[in-house]
A and B are shown apart, each in its own frame.
Chain A
């Protein structure tokens, strides 16, 4: 009745032609003096170094704030002075005196003094936010910290550590985020209701580090600007912009087009095609994250050490590392990541179905048993869980995978309602105690406990091993201490409720004109100041 004639159709398409052929050719390239990083930044909830404990936040803060001591980009394995140029440990092993480097200034123009250092440490303890435990474990609390941490002169900071800890541990803590030095005068000028400037410092910086914070737009971007007066020299790039690009596919396209310089979060299927692109370089270097499965000993069969060993023998570590985890992970079966003091390449377990069956039969489970394995839905946890499900079935263990949001899985583990769970762990500071304290502190099984450590979560009561771990934390002799950690790790790997599987590699895709990308083990060591463009 009302048909469209060819002429009308032609006219309609002709009218649309200008729209269809509109092609403003977009030229892409990041500014020469700026570094643009794409990654998921939705974990940032604060940039106050006295509170920040999320991975991206720590990475930003390590570039904003100088710390009392540091591991610098030039040699990431050597502890050197930061705000402090030298330090001494008292004969009692409890008093530490730091001499403040002269001539340093905050970006406000205020001089950096020992008083700033003392105040910065004190506020971490007084606020006692998530990271507070790092310092309160020294025996500091809001009532005594002003006595135990103080500036005795403008260039001398003295701290007293009542708890018995090895000096290396205390000094290593001075390289961590809680030892970030905040400009006290600027911060206090922005204090509100006695909050020690916590609210203001969440979104502003008062620092003397390599960069200052220009803006943090949640789930959008973080922009930093170089501090030309930084004590180690002005950063090579004037601006650093970290953009929130959660989708790996979008990251890859932006990198190829040159709209970003670095893509942090590409999956293997995104990385493979990039190998042929001469404008892109992919760098890979070890990280410090452990990927493991935890077993809850409250689930009957898992209470038997033979069953736990059998489970560890029913995982094909190497097959996973060679296939879907290729380049991103390597097999590592102890709680200290390679690169840490005390780490050891002790990897005793491999897929051994017959050996596992024998152990299960000895333990009274010749036909296996059923177990629920919780895993969050983020790559690569589901894949690891599925691989475990397949190989554990070879030994008769029927695994049911329970997938959930990461926080949901953490909630199950913290509430001890899980049976087995695949999870990862990132260390808090550059000392073996950071992981030992979590994975080997198992003397208190009360509910709720003082700390929900790994053994508590797994219901693994180990007062003797806990005592050994504490001795290692107090040992003054470096070589002895290292050996103690190696022995401790072997015992935990052999008998413990953890199926240690992998350590991560950071895989970073970047434009070929980028130089000097630091190969840090973890976020504390991701420095931007060394990066340049050719």
Chain B
């Protein structure tokens, strides 16, 4: 009896722990997400309110009468105390209302839905290039430390780090677009292909494929390949460098010597065992790279007239378009939070230790 009770108690306790523990973790995660968002809105709101640019002039221009200026000032709620303005803003975003953009005369949410797929399309291809080439390059460099393959990869990484993306973009355009004619120029599509494919995902290559428009797909890909390659080169430089560094640490471990002593092929030791052990760190690197590609492609998007999130945010900042800046910032914040959560999930998949509660 005693044993049964004890057993039953143990079972009930175990079940409770199995239910309560994940709920607690979920609660803690949601709390931290909410707190991060609140902090994000607070900082961005403060920057927007205290930067030395008058948001009313952004709307009415320099020539508006004082009467018009005053009316818009009141309409924006700028006559209210800052805390009231912030409270009003929070209330609106809680209802999903990010307000209208001054620049586009459209709801900010609608703008973000329109521009974000263009950035995802660009960033995703860039990431694929960065990962597919960067990881092997990093591995090759690490396994040939100090030799010519290592020097080449390190030189490439140095170039990727030190060359301004703006300059790389212009040189890329000059060479591959203007001189060689291998790729299409700035923008997402040629004029002749405008408005043929109705946007579904907002990613032109995918929409064109879905619509069965091969010409549009080829043209969209022609526009995409150069900016994506340039961004891909930058992420390649970072991923290769980090992979090299992680692999060097692994190759000095004793299990590598043991594996060699056991007669395992070097190929298997490097690509399966050593690389397998750096995946957890690489997941973080890849996630951060993707995050920075999504929000940090401002200069590339400017050079290539790519109507994505980076260009939208840059224009919003210059136009003192506070609603757009705040909406964009929240989106970027959400991306980072989402990527962090995804990284955690992937950790658990690639490293069994991460699945254990303690």
Q: Which residues of A contact B (CB under 8 A)?
A: 1-4, 9, 22-28, 30-31, 34, 36, 42, 45-46, 53-54, 128-130, 132-133, 136, 199, 202-203, 214-215, 217-221, 223, 241, 243-247, 249-250, 253-254, 256-257, 259, 404-405, 407-408, 410-411, 414, 428, 438, 448-452
Contacts and interface: CB of A to CB of B under 8 A. Distances in A.
A241 B191 contact: yes
B192 interface: yes
A219 B312 contact: yes
A244 B104 contact: no
17 contacts: A1-B251, A24-B218, A26-B222, A45-B103, A46-B105, A53-B61, A130-B59, A130-B61, A130-B68, A136-B65, A199-B105, A214-B195, A218-B111, A253-B177, A410-B57, A410-B62, A411-B52
A128 B67 contact: yes
Given A132-B65, A219-B307, A448-B66, A411 B57 contact: yes
B333 interface: no
A24 B183 CA distance: 7
Given A53-B64, A219-B103, 15 more contacts: A2-B144, A3-B143, A25-B181, A25-B182, A31-B191, A36-B191, A42-B319, A133-B63, A202-B105, A203-B106, A219-B307, A249-B173, A254-B186, A411-B52, A438-B63
Nearest to A53: B61
A203 B270 CA distance: 59
Interface string B104-119: 1110000100100000
Nearest to B221: A24
Contact of B320 (A9, A30, A214, A407): A407
Contacts of A23: 180, 182
A504 B307 CA distance: 30
Chain A at the B interface: mostly helix, strand, loop or mixed?
A: loop
B318 interface: yes
Interface string B282-302: 000000000000000000001
B338 to A, nearest CB: 25
Given A31-B192, A202-B105, A253-B174, A449 B66 contact: yes
A45 B65 CA distance: 18
Contacts of A428: 63
Nearest to A251: B186
A100 B281 CA distance: 75
B60 interface: yes
A259 B177 CA distance: 11
Given A2-B144, A250-B303, A405-B318, A241 B194 contact: yes
A26 B182 contact: yes
Interface string B184-207: 111100111011000000000000
B183 A26 contact: yes
A35 to B, nearest CB: 10
B12 interface: no
Contacts of B23: none
Contacts, number: 172
B307 A4 contact: no
Interface string B29-67: 000000000000000000000001110011111111111
Nearest to A198: B105
A4 B60 contact: no
Interface of B: 52-54, 57-68, 71, 101-106, 111, 114, 140, 143-144, 147, 149, 170, 173-174, 177-178, 180-187, 190-192, 194-195, 218, 222, 251, 266, 269-270, 302-305, 307, 311-312, 315, 318-320
Contacts of B147: 3-4
Given A2-B270, A26-B182, A250-B186, A129 B68 contact: yes
A492 to B, nearest CB: 19
B144 to A, nearest CB: 5
A326 to B, nearest CB: 24
B62 A254 contact: no
A128 B318 CA distance: 26
A130 B186 contact: no
Contacts of B192: 31
B185 A28 contact: yes
A407 B53 contact: yes
Contacts of B195: 214-215, 223
Nearest to A254: B185
Contacts of B143: 1-4
Nearest to B115: A219
A45 B63 contact: no
Contact of B103 (A30, A42, A247, A449): A42
Given A4-B149, A223-B194, A411 B319 contact: no
Nearest to A30: B191
B303 to A, nearest CB: 5
Contacts of A22: 182
Contacts of A128: 67-68, 71
Given A411-B54, A450-B65, A451-B66, A257 B105 contact: no
A266 B345 CA distance: 50
B191 A246 contact: no
Contacts of B111: 218
Contact of B311 (A3, A132, A219, A256): A219
Contact of A404 (B52, B184, B187): B52
Nearest to B141: A4
A129 B234 CA distance: 46
Given A30-B191, A407-B54, A245 B184 contact: no
B222 A24 contact: yes
Contacts of A244: 305, 307
A41 B186 CA distance: 15
A218 B106 contact: yes
Contact of A256 (B58, B114, B178): B178
A408 B52 contact: yes
Nearest to A434: B63
A42 B269 CA distance: 55
A202 B174 CA distance: 37
Contact of B144 (A4, A42, A254, A404): A4
A5 to B, nearest CB: 10
A114 B56 CA distance: 35
With most chain A CB atoms within 10 A of its CB, the pick from B62, B170, B192 is B62
Given A46-B105, A202-B105, A253-B174, A245 B191 contact: no
Contacts of A4: 140, 143-144, 147, 149
A259 B195 CA distance: 17
With most chain B CB atoms within 10 A of its CB, the pick from A24, A46, A404 is A24
A77 to B, nearest CB: 25
A250 B183 contact: no
A387 to B, nearest CB: 24
